[in-house]
A and B are shown apart, each in its own frame.
Chain A
């Protein structure tokens, strides 16, 4: 079953913060985050493993709450380059298959 992402879309100004949530009805082994710019391929951002620590990548970080089967992506002091669609991919432990959410479209305005 597809994880649920929220919000579906968010618009913010350069320098503002944003949080994107990903929630699953299944027990999760790991959560992956990807960013896709219009007309391009998705690009890997980070992976959070069950029992692992919070990850960070520049000013983008994420957390994974195993008990709630939720993950959140935190974008701090957003830059114009952060614009794109963010997808979470969840792994419930079956042979490296990921199930992706429908995406959150993030627009950063100057």
Chain B
């Protein structure tokens, strides 16, 4: 299994508070991604990173920011949490090479509830 951890695994927070989720990898992979998963929508990309301090927006980036100061860590911040951001958040990593061609490996997920 790819070495990806997410913290916290569960969090309940109140509307309007900032929240930071952490993704940590031990694989030294270049690419890191944040997705949210909601019933009926599958996985939707929030932000991704292609290197230290190199990030870009995904499909549903409004209300979220990210930072990557080290290869192994990718942080997702909800600047002011809203109930619509209640979701399961998955981090993923990928690396191009050989025949694998950037398959993505997912972390265990963080279940966030905004009340």
B104 touches A95 (CB 8 A): no
Contact surface of B with A, Cβ cutoff 8 Å: 31, 35, 40-45, 48, 50, 56, 58-59, 90, 94, 96, 101-109
A98 touches B42 (CB 8 A): no
How many angstroms between the C-alpha atoms of A106 and B35 in the bound complex? 22
Chain A residues with CB under 8 Å of B102's CB are 96
Known: A95-B50, A97-B48. A32 touches B42 (CB 8 A): no
How many angstroms between the C-alpha atoms of A42 and B4 in the bound complex? 13
Provide the main secondary structure of the chain B interface.
Answer: strand
Chain B residues with CB under 8 Å of A40's CB are 108
A61 interface residue per 8 A CB criterion = no
A2 touches B42 (CB 8 A): yes
Chain B residues with CB under 8 Å of A102's CB are 40-42
What is the size, in residues, of chain A's interface with B at 8 Å between Cβ atoms?
22
Interface pairs A-B: 9 shortest CB-CB: A41-B106, A100-B42, A100-B43, A102-B42, A44-B103, A42-B106, A103-B42, A96-B102, A41-B108
Question: Which single member of A32, A49, A103 contacts B104 (CB below 8 Å)?
Answer: A32
Chain A residues with CB under 8 Å of B103's CB are 32, 44, 47
Taking A32-B104, A44-B103 as known contacts, 18 extra A-B pairs with beta carbons closer than 8 A to each other, sorted by chain A number, are: A2-B42, A41-B90, A41-B107, A41-B108, A42-B90, A44-B104, A47-B103, A89-B104, A95-B50, A96-B94, A97-B45, A97-B58, A98-B45, A100-B42, A101-B42, A102-B41, A102-B42, A103-B42
How many angstroms between the C-alpha atoms of A43 and B106 in the bound complex? 7
How many angstroms between the C-alpha atoms of A34 and B92 in the bound complex? 13
B107 to chain A: closest residue by CB: A41
From 67 to 110 in chain A, residues with beta carbon under 8 angstroms from any chain B beta carbon are 87, 89, 95-103
